[in-house]
Amino acid sequence: MEYPHIPFSPLHFTEAETLDRSKAFHDYMERRRSLRFFSDKPIPKEVIENIVMTASTAPSGAHKQPWTFCIVGDPAVKSKIKDAAEEEERESYGGRMSEEWLQDLAPIGTDWQKPFLEIAPWLIIVFKKAYEIEGGERRKCYYVNESVGIACGFLLAAIHQAGLVSLTHTPSPMNFLQRILDRPENERPFLLIPVGYPAEGATVPDLRRKTLDQVSVWW
Ligand code: IYR
């Protein structure tokens, strides 16, 4: 694959506009929350297509875009995923997770039950490609976790931008997703993200985010 260099088309904003835009975006992103209570209100497929294409604009090692977004709207497949996820989570909460881990999760109020996996209109299951297969040949991918992690960040921001809510869900272990969704050997499940509208009366834990001082060091 050849990528000849072409002129870049920059955006032009004044310093005041840059300041306004950075502030407005931060204010908007501060309103994003991970939700565990979803409405079953449908969302048009085209909205999810746009969100996925936004995620796929993420930078990636050697521009390999080493991701596959599996989009599940079929209730039967959602039920299979819910049953398998709950089976794993029952084991995790029932002894696989350490005492410290369970204590850290207690304030958030999670447990092994995952009803949202059937209720949310769409599940996006992100797979990372450990390597690519091109014409039967194995081709390397680079910085796969970094690349797919950034794509997931873009995905969550795009979901929020559309006024929808999501949960970054990590049933553990996640191999059942590879089996249920019949993914090839080079793809590994990375995150399971239900997408929808919040249920009426949905609640979120009253958590605080770290301050600028707590998250940054400047020179
Ligand atoms: N995968 C489990 C446990 C869990 C782990 C972390 I770290 C969280 O921030 C939340 C949950 C579950 O989804 O319940």
* Centroid of ligand 1 to alpha carbon of 213 (angstroms): 27
CA-based nearest residue to 181, from 91, 74, 87: 74
Structure tokens at 95: 């002894």
pLDDT of 172 over the 90 cut: no
Q: Read out DSSP for 49-96?
A: HHHHHHHTTS--GGG---EEEEEE--HHHHHHHHHHHHHHHHHIIIII
The model's pLDDT over 26-65, given as tens digits with 9 standing for 90+, comes to: 999 999 999 999 999 999 999 999 999 999 999 999 999 9
Topology of the domain comprising 34-200: NADH Oxidase (3.40.109)
Q: Which atom of ligand 1 is nearest to the CA of 101?
A: 7
Other residues' Cβ atoms within 10 Å of the Cβ of residue 189: 22
Ligand 1 center to 173 CA (angstroms): 11
Distance in Å, CA 177 to ligand 1 centroid: 17
CB 37, CB 198: distance < 8 Å: yes
**Closest residue by CA, ligand 1 atom 11:** 110
Q: Say which residue, 90 or 2, is predicted with more confidence.
A: 90
17 CA from centroid of ligand 1 (Å): 39
Cβ < 6 Å from ligand 1: which residues? 89, 105, 110, 169-172
**Percent of the chain scoring above 90 in pLDDT:** 95
Tell me the average pLDDT of the chain. Answer: 97
- Tell me which residue of 34, 31, 48 sits closest to 167, measured CA to CA: 34
pLDDT value at 173 more than 80:
yes
Per DSSP, 45 falls in state H
pTM of the predicted model as reported, rounded to 2 decimal places: 0.96
| pLDDT for position 90 | 95
